[in-house]
C-alpha cells in the first residue's frame, strides 16, 4: 500500500510580522451581545459563499444574540472582520493549497479568514469553525447544541488547513440524510452527485419497454435471451445508451457522476460476441469495462462509474479510461474484524490491489449494518477507523458506507457520526470522537452506553463470532446475544435510563439503544417457543401450550418505540413495524392443536445446511412455526432433497399429516417439485400413502408459505416418512451461476 498522508494537515501556525512580535492575542467578535465585527464576502460571491456567511451569522446570533452584518469587500471599513470565501485577503493566504472541497481557517492581525476549495468547502469551513472554535455540536438529525455566551472571541494566531482524504464521502444513515448534518460533517450524497446511481442497466434500457420486441438487447443465459442483464456487445444497446445519457445529462447538467453498472444479480450475457470479449479479458468484467469505456469516450467531460461487484469484481485486462471510476464492494467480508485482518476480506484485498494496478480512480462500497435485521446489535463500530485508514492507504478516492439508509437501525446516530469524522480524516482520534459523541448525545447516560458497547464487542470477540451483514439473532443465541448476555446488557441500559430519567429527550435516545435488545428478545422467543425464553408457556401435565401473557404488551411497546425512533422497516425491503405487529397478533391468535409428532425422534437421510440449523431436526416437530424469514425456524436444504422419517414411539391413530414449505425466490428458496408421504408400522416396510406435485412458480419475488396436507381417516402407523424433492435447477428468471435451489420445511404436524 502507498504511504498514507494524514488528511488533516495542521501545517503550521502563521502570523504577520506585527502579530508575531505581539505574540498570542484575542480577536473579539461579540462583546456584551453587541457585534464587534462584520462578515465580509467577495463581490461576486458564489452560492456556497453566501450560504456559509448566512450560517455563520445565524449561529453567532443564536450563541450571543448579536447579529453580525454581512457586507462585500468594497464595503469593508478596515476594522475587525470575518472574511468568508475567495476574498482578496484569502488569496494572500495561499488558497491554492486547498485540495478539492477542503478549506482553511486563519487569522491576521485583526481578522479571521475562512476560505474553501471547490464545492461546499467554504460551508464545511464555517461548520468546522463553529464546532472546533465556538463549541457548537451537531450529533444527529436534531438541532445543534449551542453554548450561549454574550461574549465571543477566538485566540489568535490560527492557521488550520484541512484537505479531505476522500473526494467522495457518504455514510448512509437517517442522520446523514439531514441537509445540515451532511454539510456540518462534510458528507456527500449520491442523490446530489450522481445523475444516475448504482445498478443502472435496466434504468438505461428497461426490459418492460424493450424485452418483448427486442430480446437481443438482453443477456443470453443458457442459450436463451433473459431479462437479467444487458448484452453489451449489441450495437443497438450502445446506441440506446448514448441516447439515454444525452437526454439525462441535458436534464441534469450539474451531475458529477453517471453510473453504468450491472444489475444486483448474475445472469451475464454469454452470447458468442460477449463470450469472445470475455475470453480476451479474463471474465465478464471485460465486456463491461469495454462497454463503459466506449460510452465514456463520447462524454469526455463527464465521469462514469461502474461496479466491481459479484461477477465483475475482478479487474479486466483493459484499462479503464481516465473518466471511468470503478466502485469495488466489500460485500463478501464478515464484519468481526477490520478489512486488513479479516480472513473473509482477503479476496477483496486482492481485487483492490489488482484494480489499483490498472487505475487510480477507485471508490469502495462498504457496509456497516445487518441488512436482514437492522435493529440487531451489530458491534463492528470500532472497525470504522482501521477500515478507512486501510482504504486511504490504498489510495481509494471515495467511500460509500452503506448503513440502514432512511430507517433507524442499531446505534445509527453513533455509526453515522463516527464514520463522518473518519471519512474526512481516517487518522483522527477515534477515542476522542467516541467520547465526544457519547457525552454530547447521551449526557449522564454516556458511561453506561460506553460500557454496553464495550461489552458487546468483548462478547463477540471472546467467542470469535463471524459478524455477518446477512445474519440474525438466532445464529447468535448461544454467544454474544445469549439470553444471559442480553440480561447483562439490559442492566447497563437500566442504569443509563436511571441516570437521565428526568431528561425526556435523552431518555428517548437511550430507549432507542434498547430497541436492539428488545428486538433480539422477541425474535429469539420465536425460536425458543415453549422452552425457557420463549413466547409460549407449556403446561407440563397436559402438555398444552399457551401464549405468555407478557408478550402482547412487549410487542406493542417495541412497535411504539420503533415508530418514535423512526424505524420504517426492520430489514432491507422487509417488514414495517405495523406489519411486524400484525404478524405477532396472528401468532397470538393461532389456536394450539396437540401434535402427535411433537418432539418425536426424526432421522434425516440427507443433511440440512449448517448455516441455518435452527434446532436441527427438532425444528420440524417443535410446535414453533416458521414465518416469512427463512432464517427463523426453517430447516434449510440446499440443492438436496428432504427425506425425514418420524418415529411416533408407538403405533398411533391419526387423521391428517400436514407440513409447510417456504417460497422465497429472492433468496433462491423454491417449493419442492414433489412431496411424498409414506407410513410404516415397523420402520422397515413403508407404503406410499400420497404424492403431491407442486407446479413451478412464475416470476414473482414475493415470499409466501405453501401448506401441504394428507388426509387419513382413522389411520394407524408408528413411522411417517416425508420426502420433498428439491428442484434440480433454478428457473430461468432467477438464474445465477453461483447459486443452486434450496427448499425450506417446517413443522410436520400429525393430528
Check: CB of residue 301 under 8 Å from CB of residue 321.
no
Q: Which H or E run contains 705? A: strand 704-725
CATH class of 8-164: alpha beta
Check: CB of residue 727 under 8 Å from CB of residue 673.
yes
Given this chain, do its domains 8-164 and 601-750 carry the same CATH topology?
A: no
CATH of 190-428, one of 3.10.20, 1.10.540, 3.20.20, 3.40.50: 3.20.20
CATH of 601-750, one of 2.60.120.1190, 2.60.40.420, 3.30.460.20, 3.40.1380.20: 2.60.120.1190
Q: Where are the chain's structural domains?
A: 8-164, 190-428, 457-589, 601-750
Confidence of residue 10 (pLDDT cuts 50, 70, 90): very low
pLDDT reported for residue 655: 94
CA gap 113, 95 in Å, rounded: 11
pLDDT reported for residue 16: 36
Sheet holding 324-329, edge to edge: 168-172, 398-402, 362-367, 324-329, 303-308, 257-259, 194-196
Asked which of 132-146, 495-509, 623-637 is least confident by mean pLDDT, the reply is 623-637
Strand residues in 390-514 grouped as ranges (E):
398-402
Q: How far is CA 20 from CA 29, 77, 231, in A?
A: 21, 24, 67
What region does 649 belong to: left with phi over 0, alpha with psi -120 to 50, or beta?
left
Cα–Cα nearest to 623, from 546, 529, 690: 529
| Percent of the chain residues past pLDDT 90, beyond the cut | 84
What's the 3-state SS for 421-436?
HHHHCCCCCHHHHHHH
Q: What is the DSSP letter of 532?
A: T
Q: Is the pLDDT of residue 5 over 50?
A: no
Per-residue burial over 60-97, b if 16 or more Cβ lie within 10 Å, else e, is beebbebebebeebeebeeebbbbbbbbebbeebebee
User: Higher-confidence residue: 415 or 22?
Assistant: 415
DSSP codes of every residue in 17-74: HHHHHH-SEEEEEEETTEE--EEEE-TT--HHHHHHHHHHHHHHHHHHS----EEEGG
| Percent of the chain residues past pLDDT 70, beyond the cut | 97
pLDDT reported for residue 21: 40
Q: Is the pLDDT of residue 9 over 50?
A: no
Average pLDDT estimate for 396-401:
98
Q: What is the distance between the terminal CA atoms of the chain, rounded to a whole angstrom? A: 65
pLDDT by residue (tens digit) across 708-729?
Answer: 999 988 899 999 999 999 999 9
Average pLDDT estimate for 124-134:
98
- Helix, strand, coil proportions of the chain in percent (round to 5)? 35, 25, 40
Confidence of residue 47 (pLDDT cuts 50, 70, 90): very high
For residue 635, whether the previous peptide bond is cis, meaning omega lies within 30 degrees of 0, is no
pLDDT reported for residue 23: 60
Residue 684 CB contacts under 8 Å (≥ 6 apart), including other chains: none
pLDDT reported for residue 544: 84
Q: Is the pLDDT of residue 119 over 70?
A: yes
Asked which of 10-24, 624-638, 685-699 is least confident by mean pLDDT, the reply is 10-24
Rounded to the nearest 5°, which phi and psi values hold at 510?
A: -65, -40
Q: Is the pLDDT of residue 6 over 50?
A: no
Q: Is the pLDDT of residue 545 over 60?
A: yes
Average pLDDT estimate for 652-656:
94
Q: Is the pLDDT of residue 18 over 60?
A: no
pLDDT by residue (tens digit) across 591-621?
Answer: 888 889 988 999 999 999 988 767 899 999 9
Q: Is the pLDDT of residue 2 over 60?
A: no
Task: For residue 645, give the C-alpha cell.
Answer: 422419517
Q: Is the pLDDT of residue 152 over 60?
A: yes
CA gap 399, 401 in Å, rounded: 6
Q: Is the pLDDT of residue 384 over 50?
A: yes
pLDDT by residue (tens digit) across 667-707?
Answer: 999 999 999 999 999 999 999 999 999 999 898 999 999 99
Q: Is the pLDDT of residue 385 over 70?
A: yes
DSSP codes of every residue in 124-178: HHHHHHHHHTT--B--SSSPPB----S-EEEEE--EEEE--S-SEEEEESSGGGS
Average pLDDT estimate for 215-231:
95
CA gap 288, 651 in Å, rounded: 63
Query: Mean pLDDT for the chain?
Result: 93
Amino acid at each position: 500500500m502507498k504511504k498514507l498522508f494524514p488528511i488533516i494537515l495542521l501545517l503550521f501556525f502563521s502570523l504577520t510580522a506585527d502579530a508575531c512580535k505581539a505574540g498570542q492575542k484575542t480577536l473579539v467578535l461579540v462583546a456584551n451581545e453587541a457585534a464587534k465585527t462584520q462578515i465580509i464576502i467577495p463581490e461576486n460571491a458564489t452560492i456556497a459563499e453566501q450560504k456559509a456567511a448566512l450560517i455563520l451569522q445565524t449561529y453567532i446570533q443564536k450563541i450571543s444574540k448579536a447579529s453580525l452584518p454581512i457586507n462585500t469587500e468594497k464595503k469593508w471599513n478596515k476594522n475587525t472582520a470575518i472574511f468568508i470565501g475567495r476574498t482578496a485577503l484569502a488569496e494572500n493566504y495561499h488558497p491554492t493549497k486547498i485540495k478539492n472541497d477542503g478549506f482553511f481557517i486563519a487569522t491576521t492581525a485583526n481578522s479571521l479568514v475562512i476560505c474553501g476549495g471547490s464545492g461546499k468547502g467554504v460551508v464545511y469551513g464555517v461548520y468546522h469553525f463553529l464546532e472546533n472554535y465556538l463549541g457548537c455540536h451537531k450529533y444527529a438529525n436534531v438541532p445543534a447544541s449551542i453554548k450561549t455566551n454574550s461574549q465571543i472571541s477566538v485566540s489568535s494566531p490560527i492557521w488550520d488547513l484541512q484537505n479531505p482524504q476522500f473526494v467522495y464521502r457518504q455514510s448512509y444513515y437517517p442522520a446523514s440524510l439531514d441537509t445540515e448534518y451532511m454539510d456540518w460533517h462534510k458528507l456527500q450524497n449520491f442523490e446530489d452527485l450522481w445523475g444516475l446511481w448504482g445498478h443502472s442497466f435496466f434504468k438505461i434500457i428497461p426490459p418492460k419497454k424493450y424485452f418483448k420486441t427486442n430480446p437481443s438487447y438482453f443477456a443470453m443465459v443458457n442459450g436463451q435471451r433473459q431479462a437479467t442483464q444487458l448484452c453489451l456487445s449489441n450495437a443497438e444497446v450502445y446506441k440506446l445508451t448514448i441516447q439515454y445519457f444525452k437526454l439525462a445529462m441535458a436534464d441534469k447538467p450539474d451531475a458529477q457522476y453517471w453510473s453504468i453498472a450491472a444489475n444486483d444479480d448474475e445472469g451475464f450475457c454469454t452470447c458468442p460476441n460477449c463470450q469472445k470479449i470475455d475470453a480476451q479479458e479474463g471474465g465478464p468484467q471485460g465486456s463491461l469495462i469495454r462497454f463503459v469505456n466506449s460510452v465514456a469516450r463520447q462524454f469526455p467531460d463527464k465521469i462514469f462509474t461502474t461496479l466491481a461487484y459479484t461477477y465483475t469484481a475482478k479487474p479486466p485486462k483493459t484499462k479503464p479510461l481516465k473518466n471511468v471510476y470503478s466502485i469495488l464492494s466489500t460485500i463478501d467480508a464478515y464484519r468481526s474484524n477490520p478489512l486488513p485482518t479479516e480472513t473473509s476480506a482477503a479476496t477483496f484485498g486482492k481485487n483492490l490491489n489488482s484494480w489499483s494496478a490498472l487505475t487510480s480512480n477507485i471508490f469502495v462500497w462498504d457496509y456497516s449494518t445487518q441488512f436482514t435485521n437492522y435493529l440487531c446489535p451489530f458491534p463492528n463500530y470500532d472497525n470504522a477507523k482501521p477500515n478507512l485508514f486501510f482504504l486511504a492507504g490504498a489510495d481509494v478516492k471515495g467511500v460509500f458506507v452503506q448503513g440502514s439508509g432512511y430507517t433507524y437501525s442499531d446505534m445509527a446516530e453513533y455509526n453515522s457520526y463516527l464514520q463522518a469524522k473518519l471519512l474526512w480524516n481516517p487518522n483522527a482520534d477515534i477515542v476522542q470522537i467516541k467520547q465526544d459523541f457519547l457525552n454530547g448525545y447521551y449526557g449522564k447516560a454516556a458511561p453506561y452506553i460506553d460500557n454496553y458497547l464495550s461489552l458487546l464487542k468483548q462478547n463477540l470477540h471472546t467467542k470469535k463470532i463471524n459478524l455477518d451483514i446477512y445474519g440474525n439473532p438466532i445464529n447468535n443465541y448461544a454467544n454474544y446475544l445469549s439470553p444471559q448476555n442480553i440480561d447483562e446488557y439490559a442492566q447497563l441500559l437500566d442504569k443509563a435510563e436511571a441516570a437521565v430519567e428526568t431528561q425526556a429527550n435523552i431518555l428517548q435516545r437511550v430507549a432507542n439503544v434498547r430497541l436492539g435488545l428488545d428486538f433480539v428478545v422477541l425474535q429469539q422467543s420465536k425460536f425458543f417457543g415453549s422452552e425457557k425464553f420463549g413466547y409460549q408457556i407449556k403446561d407440563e401435565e397436559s402438555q398444552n401450550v399457551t401464549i405468555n401473557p407478557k408478550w402482547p404488551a412487549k410487542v406493542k411497546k417495541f412497535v411504539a418505540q420503533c415508530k418514535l425512533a423512526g424505524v420504517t422497516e426492520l430489514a432491507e425491503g422487509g417488514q414495517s413495524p405495523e406489519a411486524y405487529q400484525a404478524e405477532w397478533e396472528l401468532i397470538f391468535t393461532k389456536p394450539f392443536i396437540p401434535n402427535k409428532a411433537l418432539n418425536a425422534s426424526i432421522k434425516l437421510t440427507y443433511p440440512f445446511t449448517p448455516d441455518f440449523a435452527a434446532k436441527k431436526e427438532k425444528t420440524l416437530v417443535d410446535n414453533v412455526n416458521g414465518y416469512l424469514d427463512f432464517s427463523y425456524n426453517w430447516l434449510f436444504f440446499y440443492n438436496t432433497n428432504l427425506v425425514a422419517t418420524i418415529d411416533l414411539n408407538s403405533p398411533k391413530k391419526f387423521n391428517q399429516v400436514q407440513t409447510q414449505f417456504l417460497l422465497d425466490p429472492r433468496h433462491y428458496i423454491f417449493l419442492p417439485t414433489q412431496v411424498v408421504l409414506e407410513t410404516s408400522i415397523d420402520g422397515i416396510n413403508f407404503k406410499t400413502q400420497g404424492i403431491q406435485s407442486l407446479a413451478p412458480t412464475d416470476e414473482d419475488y414475493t415470499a409466501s408459505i405453501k401448506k401441504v396436507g394428507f388426509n387419513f381417516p382413522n389411520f394407524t402407523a408408528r413411522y411417517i416418512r416425508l420426502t420433498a424433492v428439491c428442484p434440480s435447477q433454478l428457473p430461468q428468471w432467477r438464474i445465477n451461476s453461483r447459486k443452486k435451489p434450496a427448499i425450506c420445511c417446517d413443522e410436520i404436524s400429525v393430528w
